[in-house]
Chain A
């Protein structure tokens, strides 16, 4: 959607016009029979004023100086499985064979509302992006860049509940087919969102649920409005109201009840989050056995267990990716090795990192061995049976 509206000078003219008509309406009201006309003119002017105000709010504040980029939508992805499905769909694949990814951290001098990407690619480019807090990327957004020789796109950041106008560090992950890397010519941060869009984004941030992942047992992020902690907002309101209450000399015995109300407000928001995320988790679990950021670890484990049971010979299992520890638990007493110490001897390998299987070779984390894929899973994982080197 192109944004070509420039209303600043036109808005000033319209405001002067409104004032002049108001003056005329007031003088008309003093005449006999003028009150009806007065009411009608006031109503019309109010409507015109509201329309102009909306136009001001909805108009962007700053425009890109070089050319006019194409604006895409950025969608907040619910689960890693969804991300995987979108990526595979973009490449018209049914699994993640040969899909590679590359992550980069971009830092800018100032904040902004959109990332502008200039690129060249023969294929679509799925892009996962989001603010970076120094530890992990929260709630990434996903967009698909169309194939283009001279692509120039704006992708909005507002949908991320961790975005704020001061945020200047972002992680950008691009996906591509093997040996078909896109070329990112330039990535900049632009401030093109209107005041109305920003206000709308802030309101939607509070409605964005927190994702409960493995690290949630250590710390919960909570909710934010424009990157500003909801905990601080609500807590400060509690402190302010308590201060005013005491200053006004109101009954102190009611203060515990006031504190209770604020706690219950937060608890209500959190309870809604719990219910919605539980419903989503149950749905994903029943549909394809995936679960939060464990993605398809559990169905993969079930399949591996079956392979180990039906196998007529001792198996050696290696893991490419990060789930060696849970696999040791669920497959105990089978020894589970990592790529460093188990790849060369493995007969079965669980592929949790980007992998490819071409020409009879299975490749993961830069290592290759003869083998074939025996199972694939919804979030892109797979199990491969490896053969001995000739």
Chain B
């Protein structure tokens, strides 16, 4: 009973922080804002724990609770001073769309099976996957017991701490619980997916949203990752959300979407180091390009790039100051042509991605054909640009660096390739499938 009450309480605290932050930025209260509250609350929580570490405070209920208390009061004051937005209506106008009952049923079944099975394994079974016993839940538990961020004896001490701080904040009231830790991160996955659904629905309608989410949940490796244990699914979902909010900014001109996109890119950078290369840097590049295009460079920097950098580069700056490397795997550059076959096997032969990459390949060909006719359309299509950029980066990493050994062993490639797979699936569906 106490565990349930503390879980609800901590969830409410993080969601409250996230919600106040979003309300202050957007001055809008809608379904997307509510759904995104918890994911953004995990970012504020990570910053609270980082601040406590920098100030030398022990990670106790009192110290962390006090910082959260100060933060929530500050956010409340800021929100109240911002006032309400003078827009047409509080409720959303959802674009109309027709969805056939058969298609809705099939998509619904596929999505439900994926989510319910993930819930079963995340909540009813104990932690199962190996890296959770070393880099994730183990480090979180050690830090909770030590009441500070543990570095000694940790194989990959440079990993950012959004997931670790999320684990610890739920352990502070009642003690460490493996199930509670997985429940906290499962809630992050589900609220992120819900936000994705609502955001697509807001821009394209019910049909596009349902099929878009189903396409993501139809990726077999995604279903396995939703069982929790690793941070790859969380960094990927943050990246997806960031790309969609940036797309909303480009299509609607709403600068608050740019700000939220930057926050989500920062959250990705706090989740895994991949977030720096696949989220923060691409966001900065795309935000600069689109701001120059729209002749709103100063606004773009002030409202988007600057907050993202200030919030997202904190951990990177800390690593550099501590002398820790930015990658746990080392770096050396050399082209490995023999690895091309392995990449093709991973994407087109194994079951990790189903037949998604065949569809993505067709979509990329279509994109090239359309872009040749009208090159300016590609600059507007930030999700596709982000997806193609991430694909090129993954190929560069696994074909041209020492990471090739993890491709050979089948260890990390699939997890890293989740980023371009989900980005391109989403981007190409919105580009070509959203029109009925």
Q: Which residues of A are interface residues toward B (Cβ below 8 A)? A: 135, 210, 212, 214-223, 229-232, 234-236, 238-239, 242, 253, 255-257, 259-260, 262-264, 266-268, 270-271, 274-275, 278, 281-282, 285, 291-292, 294, 298, 325-326, 328-330, 332-333
Interface pair A242/B355, CB less than 8 Å apart: no
Interface pair A271/B348, CB less than 8 Å apart: no
Report which of B215, B220, B429 forms a contact with A270, defined as CB distance below 8 A: B220
Chain A residues, CB < 8 A from B253: none
Chain B residues, CB < 8 A from A212: 224
Given contacts A216-B224, A231-B350, A256 and B432 within 8 Å (CB-CB): yes
Chain A residues, CB < 8 A from B220: 220, 222, 270
Name 30 A/B residue pairs within 8 A (Cβ), A-sorted: A214-B130, A215-B410, A216-B224, A229-B349, A234-B358, A235-B348, A235-B358, A238-B358, A239-B358, A255-B366, A260-B215, A262-B355, A262-B358, A263-B356, A264-B218, A266-B354, A267-B110, A267-B214, A270-B354, A271-B113, A274-B117, A275-B117, A278-B117, A285-B124, A291-B125, A291-B126, A325-B133, A326-B130, A330-B126, A333-B145
Interface pair B113/A262, CB less than 8 Å apart: no
Report which of A253, A275, A333 forms a contact with B113, defined as CB distance below 8 A: A275
Interface pair B133/A328, CB less than 8 Å apart: yes
Chain B 335-364, CB-CB to A under 8 Å as 1, else 0, gives 000000000001011111011111100110
Docked Cα-Cα span, A235 to B345, in Å, equals: 13
Q: Tell me if B151 counts as interface (CB < 8 A to partner A).
A: no
Chain B residues, CB < 8 A from A218: 410-415
Given contacts A231-B350, A291-B125, A238 and B114 within 8 Å (CB-CB): no
Nearest A residue (CB) for B355 = A235
Interface pair B218/A259, CB less than 8 Å apart: no
Docked Cα-Cα span, A259 to B355, in Å, equals: 9
Chain A residues, CB < 8 A from B357: 235
Given contacts A238-B359, A242-B362, A329-B127, A221 and B114 within 8 Å (CB-CB): no
Nearest A residue (CB) for B436 = A253
Interface pair B141/A219, CB less than 8 Å apart: no
Given contacts A218-B414, A235-B348, A256 and B138 within 8 Å (CB-CB): no
Interface pair A219/B110, CB less than 8 Å apart: no
Interface residues on B, range: 35 or more
Interface pair A232/B433, CB less than 8 Å apart: no
Interface pair A214/B350, CB less than 8 Å apart: no
Interface pair B350/A217, CB less than 8 Å apart: no
Chain A residues, CB < 8 A from B218: 263-264, 266-267, 270
Chain A residues, CB < 8 A from B346: 219
Chain B 207-242, CB-CB to A under 8 Å as 1, else 0, gives 000010011001011011100011000000000000
Nearest B residue (CB) for A243 = B362
Chain A residues, CB < 8 A from B429: 256
Shortest distance between the CB of B341 and any CB in chain A (Å): 14
Nearest B residue (CB) for A215 = B410
Chain B 353-396, CB-CB to A under 8 Å as 1, else 0, gives 01111110011001000000000000000000000000000000
Shortest distance between the CB of A269 and any CB in chain B (Å): 9
Chain B residues, CB < 8 A from A266: 218, 354-355
Chain B residues, CB < 8 A from A268: 106, 110
Report which of A223, A275, A332, A333 forms a contact with B351, defined as CB distance below 8 A: A223
Shortest distance between the CB of A216 and any CB in chain B (Å): 5
Docked Cα-Cα span, A2 to B224, in Å, equals: 45
Interface pair B349/A232, CB less than 8 Å apart: yes
Nearest A residue (CB) for B345 = A229
Interface pair B351/A210, CB less than 8 Å apart: yes
Chain B 402-424, CB-CB to A under 8 Å as 1, else 0, gives 00000001111111000000000
Chain A residues, CB < 8 A from B366: 255
Q: Tell me if B435 counts as interface (CB < 8 A to partner A).
A: yes
Docked Cα-Cα span, A13 to B359, in Å, equals: 52
Chain A residues, CB < 8 A from B106: 264, 268
Q: Which of A135, A266, A333 has the most chain B CB atoms inside 10 A of its CB?
A: A266
Nearest B residue (CB) for A135 = B410
Shortest distance between the CB of B69 and any CB in chain A (Å): 30
The 10 A-B residue pairs whose C-beta atoms are closest, nearest first, are: A222-B351, A235-B358, A267-B218, A256-B433, A220-B351, A259-B359, A266-B354, A271-B113, A329-B133, A235-B355
Shortest distance between the CB of B152 and any CB in chain A (Å): 14
Chain B residues, CB < 8 A from A274: 113-114, 117, 223
Chain B residues, CB < 8 A from A236: 358
Given A222-B351, A274-B113, A332-B138, 13 other A-B residues pairs in contact with their CB atoms under 8 A:
A220-B351, A231-B350, A235-B357, A256-B432, A259-B358, A263-B215, A266-B354, A267-B218, A270-B223, A274-B117, A282-B124, A329-B133, A332-B145
Interface pair A231/B348, CB less than 8 Å apart: yes
Chain B 159-185, CB-CB to A under 8 Å as 1, else 0, gives 000000000000000000010000000
Given contacts A214-B128, A231-B354, A274-B117, A260 and B433 within 8 Å (CB-CB): yes
Interface pair A267/B354, CB less than 8 Å apart: yes
Shortest distance between the CB of A81 and any CB in chain B (Å): 16
Docked Cα-Cα span, A333 to B433, in Å, equals: 53
Nearest B residue (CB) for A292 = B128
Docked Cα-Cα span, A209 to B184, in Å, equals: 30
Chain B residues, CB < 8 A from A242: 362
Docked Cα-Cα span, A219 to B359, in Å, equals: 20
Report which of A215, A221, A263 forms a contact with B354, defined as CB distance below 8 A: A263
Shortest distance between the CB of B418 and any CB in chain A (Å): 11
Chain B residues, CB < 8 A from A135: 409-410
Chain B residues, CB < 8 A from A256: 429, 432-433
Interface pair A221/B350, CB less than 8 Å apart: yes
Nearest A residue (CB) for B428 = A256
Docked Cα-Cα span, A259 to B348, in Å, equals: 15
Docked Cα-Cα span, A365 to B386, in Å, equals: 52
Given contacts A219-B346, A238-B359, A239-B362, A282 and B354 within 8 Å (CB-CB): no
Shortest distance between the CB of B46 and any CB in chain A (Å): 22
Chain B residues, CB < 8 A from A217: 129, 221, 224-225, 229-230, 415
Q: Tell me if B134 counts as interface (CB < 8 A to partner A).
A: yes
Chain B residues, CB < 8 A from A214: 128-130
Chain A residues, CB < 8 A from B229: 217
Interface pair B351/A221, CB less than 8 Å apart: yes
Interface pair A325/B134, CB less than 8 Å apart: yes
Docked Cα-Cα span, A257 to B107, in Å, equals: 13
Interface pair A332/B141, CB less than 8 Å apart: yes
Q: Tell me if B190 counts as interface (CB < 8 A to partner A).
A: no
Interface pair A332/B221, CB less than 8 Å apart: no
Interface pair B114/A263, CB less than 8 Å apart: no
Q: Tell me if B120 counts as interface (CB < 8 A to partner A).
A: yes
Shortest distance between the CB of B187 and any CB in chain A (Å): 20
Report which of A219, A255, A298 forms a contact with B126, defined as CB distance below 8 A: A298
Chain A residues, CB < 8 A from B142: 332
Shortest distance between the CB of A332 and any CB in chain B (Å): 6
